[in-house]
Structure formats: C-alpha cells, structure tokens
Amino acid sequence: MAIMNFSITSTSQGNSSWSGTMEYTTVTDSVVNTVASITVTDPLDSQSINFNSTKVLGFDGDYVTFRSQNSTAQFPTTQTGYSLDLWSDTFRTDIITNSISWQTLDGNSYTLNSNKWSLVYDYAAPRAIFYSKGGTISFSIQT
C-alpha cells in the first residue's frame, strides 16, 4: 500500500489544525475509485480515528465525502461508520469531475470553505470528531 499525507491548517473555527493519511494501491489510479483506508489525527492530543473507505462521493454544495459505508445517498439512513467531509469547490472538481490520480493530487493544496464545517463524522454517535471552518488542505505522498 502507498500513503498520501494530508494536513488541514490555518482554520478559522474548530480544530486549529488536523491531519491524516489515505492509503491506496497505485499512484496512477484515480482518487475517486481507490481510497482503501483513512486515518485522521488531531496533533494537539494525538487522538486518531481509522476507517476503511468504501465510497468517495461529491455532492451539490461543493463537498467531497470519503465514507466507510456503502451508501450513495447524501444523507444515509444507515447510521454506522465514519466519513471525512471536505468542503472545497476546487477539490470537488479535481476529485469528482476530473477524476485526478494520486500522482496529480501530490503537492496540491485547496482552500476549504470558510462558511461550512469540514469534518470527520461518526454516524453512530452521531457527532463530528474533528471539525473546522476555512483553512487549507495540503497533500503529499509519503516516501
């Protein structure tokens, strides 16, 4: 497995920064079809959550969701598992519309929406575990 690091920094509300990794198989595969697992960590207290990603979806309102459940509904009725929801119109365009590869994602940064909460959501609780408004998400392949 290969690993893509991501970090969210310079947020305006919520967690001031948080980061994680996404596992995938081949650098030339498209992100939308090949996320195997996601780990997200809060650097302030080292709390982390890990889940297998089964769906990568984009929805109106310009966000991308990486989910551990197999639902394509915007608001799933099955309340189990986790999701990583990232609000950015340019990120949504690259991942969903353009279906970019991990290789193309490497080194990119995206501005996150300052009016929406990007978050890691626990459907069973239900609550956001990590959350923030605004900021920047940056990606780099772990070597």
pLDDT tens-digit profile of 30-77? 999 899 999 998 777 778 889 998 789 999 889 999 999 887 878 888
CA separation, residue 116 to residues 50, 108, 127, 131, 139 (Å): 23, 21, 15, 10, 20
What confidence category does residue 12 fall into, taking pLDDT thresholds of 50, 70 and 90? very high
pLDDT tens-digit profile of 76-109? 887 788 999 999 999 999 999 999 999 999 999 9
State the total domains in the chain.
1
pTM: 0.93
CA torsion, ordered 94, 97, 98, 103, to nearest 10 deg: 50
Look up the domain containing 48 and give its range: 2-141
- What does the pLDDT read at residue 92? 97
Single out the residue of 96, 104, 90, 114 nearest to residue 139, CA to CA. 104
Is residue 36 within 8 Å of residue 24, measured between CB atoms? yes
